[in-house]
C-alpha cells in the first residue's frame, strides 16, 4: 500500500494471534528492484538510491526507502525524482538479475505449496492450507519464507497472513518493510473497516472521488450504506463489490496457473521525436521484441494495440483485432504501423510508443492461416530461426537491417521506408 498507510485495530489482550483459517499469504519483496541492484553495491545500502533510466527523460523503476522518504515513487519522471532527492544515487536497472532472483523466489514458494499465484516478478499469493500439517501454522510458514528469501537471495520480503486474498494483500502492505502481519479471522471486519475508502481493492482516484462526494470516507461508511444505495451511485457490479469488500468478503481463491492477459513493450525516447520514419523503426523493434516474448510463452494473440504518448504526456491507444491469432513479427508490425499511420499525426512531438498483443491463446490450439503470397518456409519459420539464433548468441544478434544503425549509434537513420 504505497499510496496510503493504515494500522491494525488496537488489541486489548496479549493473547497470541490466532492464525487458524488464515491460509492465504501475500508475499511482497521490499523495494525489490532497488534491493536486488544494491547486492552489487553494498556501500550504498542505507542511502537514497533510485533505479531507472538515465537522463531526465527516464522514469523511476524503484527506489530505496531512504529515497522514498523524500517523495520518490515508482513511475515518477526521473527529472522530478532528482529534484525531490538530489542527493540520491541513480543506478541503471539489471533486468536479467531481477528475473534470476524472481525465479529463485518463486521456486521457494513452490517448495512450500503448489498453489502459487504470481502477480509480478516480486509478489505472489500462496494458499498454504495443504502445507500446515507439514510445515506448521500459516504464520510459521510466513516466517519460514521470509528467512529463506533473506538467507538465499540476500533481500527481504514482507508477508500478509489472512483468510482472504484481499486482506492478505492489505496486511503485507502494512508489514513493510521486512515484516509480517497476521489478521485473524475474528479481526477481519475491524481491520478492514478502519481503512480509508481508497485502500479498497479496485478503488482508483476517480472512484475514490465519487465515494468522497457521497460522504463516504472510511470503509466503515461503505459497510453501513445500504447496498441498493451503493449500486445506484456506483453501478450494479461496483456497488456490490464494494459492499462485499467492506465486510471483508472476498470469495476468490488462489489461482496457481495465471495466464498473461497481454504481452507488450514500450520505448521512451531520449528526445521528443516528430519523424514518422523513426517511429516506424521503433514500432518494428517493439513488434519484434513483443512477438519473441509471445512465442517464448507458447502463445498467440488476436488483438494488436499501440500506445502513443506525446510531449505533454497525453497518451492515446488504438487497437485492431485480426481474423486469426498470430505470433509473427511481420503481422504484428504491419498492424501496429497501420494503426499509427491512421492517426494522421503531422509532426507531432512524441515521447513514447508501445506495441502490445492481447486476446492471447495457446499456440498449440490456435488456427494458423497461411497467406497466398507466403513462401513454403515463410515468416513464421523465419521468426523461429531468429529465436534459435537469439537463444544461442544473445538477444538482438539477428535484427532487421533497418535497425542496425539504431543498435550501433542510438540515433535515427535518415528518413526512409522499412524494407
For 92, phi and psi rounded to 5 degrees? -75, 155
Rounded CA-CA distance 328/333 in Å is: 9
Residues 6+ apart with CB under 8 A from 365: none
User: Is residue 376 a known part of a binding site?
Assistant: no
pLDDT digits (tens, 9 = 90+) for 62-76: 999 999 999 999 888
Percentage of the chain lying above the pLDDT 70 cut: 81
pLDDT band at 367 (very low <50, low <70, confident <90, very high): very low
pTM above 0.85, yes or no: no
Active-site annotation, residues: 123
pLDDT band at 387 (very low <50, low <70, confident <90, very high): low
User: Is residue 122 a known part of a binding site?
Assistant: yes
Q: Sort strands 89-91 and 350-362 into parallel, antiparallel or unpaired.
A: unpaired
Packing angle, helices 227-234 and 236-246, rounded to 10 = 140
The CATH number of 191-246 is 1.10.150.20
Contact 86, 72 (CB under 8 A): no
Greater confidence (246 vs 413) lies with: 246
The CATH number of 32-95 is 3.40.1170.60
Nearest partner of 285 among 410, 373, 414, 371, judged by Cα: 410
- DSSP string covering 353-374: EEEEEEEEEEGGGS-----TT-
Q: Which residue reads 504501423 in cell numbers?
A: 337
Is the domain spanning 262-409 CATH 3.30.1330.50? The answer is no
Find out whether the peptide bond into 177 is cis, omega within 30 degrees of 0. Answer: yes
Rounded CA-CA distance 224/226 in Å is: 6
- The mean pLDDT value of the chain amounts to 83
Domains of the chain: which residue ranges?
32-95, 191-246, 262-409
pLDDT digits (tens, 9 = 90+) for 25-75: 999 999 999 999 999 999 999 999 999 976 666 889 999 999 999 999 988
* Number of other residues whose CB lies within 10 A of the CB of residue 416: 10
**Environment class of residue 372 by beta-carbon count within 10 Å: exposed (0-12), middle (13-18) or buried (19+)?**
exposed
Rounded CA-CA distance 158/176 in Å is: 6
* Number of other residues whose CB lies within 10 A of the CB of residue 300: 26
Q: For the chain, how big is the Rg over CA atoms in Å? A: 24
Amino acid at each position: 500500500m504505497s499510496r496510503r498507510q493504515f494500522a491494525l485495530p488496537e488489541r486489548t489482550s496479549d493473547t497470541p494471534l490466532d492464525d487458524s483459517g488464515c491460509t492465504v499469504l501475500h508475499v511482497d519483496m521490499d523495494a525489490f528492484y532497488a534491493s536486488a541492484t544494491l547486492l552489487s553495491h553494498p556501500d550504498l545500502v542505507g542511502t537514497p538510491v533510485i533505479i531507472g533510466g538515465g537522463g531526465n527523460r527516464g522514469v523511476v523503476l524503484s527506489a530505496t526507502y531512504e529515497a522514498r522518504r523524500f517523495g520518490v515513487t515508482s513511475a515518477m519522471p526521473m527529472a522530478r525524482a532528482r529534484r525531490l532527492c538530489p542527493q540520491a544515487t541513480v543506478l541503471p536497472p539489471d533486468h536479467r538479475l531481477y528475473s534470476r532472483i524472481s525465479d529463485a523466489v518463486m521456486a521457494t514458494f513452490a517448495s512450500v505449496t503448489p498453489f502459487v499465484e504470481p502477480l509480478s516478478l516480486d509478489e505472489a499469493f500462496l494458499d498454504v492450507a495443504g502445507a500446515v500439517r507439514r510445515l506448521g501454522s500459516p504464520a510459521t510458514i510466513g516466517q519460514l519464507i521470509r528467512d529463506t528469501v533473506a538467507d538465499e537471495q540476500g533481500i527481504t520480503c514482507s508477508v500478509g497472513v489472512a483468510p482472504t486474498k484481499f486482506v492478505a494483500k492489505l496486511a503485507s502492505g502494512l508489514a513493510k518493510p521486512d515484516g509480517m502481519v497476521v489478521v485473524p479471522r475474528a479481526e477481519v471486519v475491524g481491520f478492514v473497516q478502519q481503512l480509508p475508502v481508497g485502500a479498497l481493492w479496485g478503488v482508483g482516484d476517480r472512484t475514490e472521488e465519487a465515494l468522497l462526494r457521497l460522504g463516504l470516507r472510511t470503509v466503515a461508511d461503505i459497510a453501513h450504506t445500504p447496498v441498493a444505495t451503493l449500486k445506484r451511485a456506483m453501478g450494479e457490479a461496483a456497488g456490490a463489490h464494494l459492499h462485499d469488500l467492506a465486510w471483508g468478503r472476498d470469495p476468490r481463491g488462489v489461482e496457481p496457473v495465471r495466464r498473461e492477459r497481454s504481452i507488450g513493450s514500450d520505448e521512451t525516447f531520449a528526445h521528443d521525436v516528430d519523424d514518422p520514419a523513426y517511429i516506424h523503426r521503433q514500432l518494428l523493434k517493439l513488434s519484434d521484441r513483443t512477438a519473441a516474448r509471445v512465442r517464448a510463452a507458447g502463445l498467440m494473440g488476436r488483438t494488436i494495440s499501440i500506445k502513443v504518448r506525446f510531449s505533454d504526456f497525453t497518451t492515446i491507444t488504438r487497437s485492431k483485432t485480426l481474423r486469426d491469432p498470430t505470433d509473427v513479427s511481420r503481422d504484428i508490425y504491419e498492424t501496429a504501423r497501420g494503426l499509427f499511420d491512421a492517426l494522421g499525426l503531422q509532426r507531432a512531438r512524441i515521447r513514447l510508443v508501445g506495441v502490445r498483443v492481447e486476446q492471447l491463446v495457446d499456440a498449440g490450439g490456435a488456427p494458423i492461416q497461411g497467406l497466398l503470397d507466403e513462401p513454403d518456409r515463410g515468416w513464421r519459420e523465419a521468426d523461429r530461426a531468429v529465436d534459435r539464433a537469439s537463444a544461442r548468441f544473445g538477444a538482438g544478434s539477428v535484427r532487421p537491417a533497418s535497425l542496425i544503425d539504431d543498435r550501433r549509434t542510438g540515433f535515427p537513420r535518415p528518413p526512409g521506408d522499412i524494407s
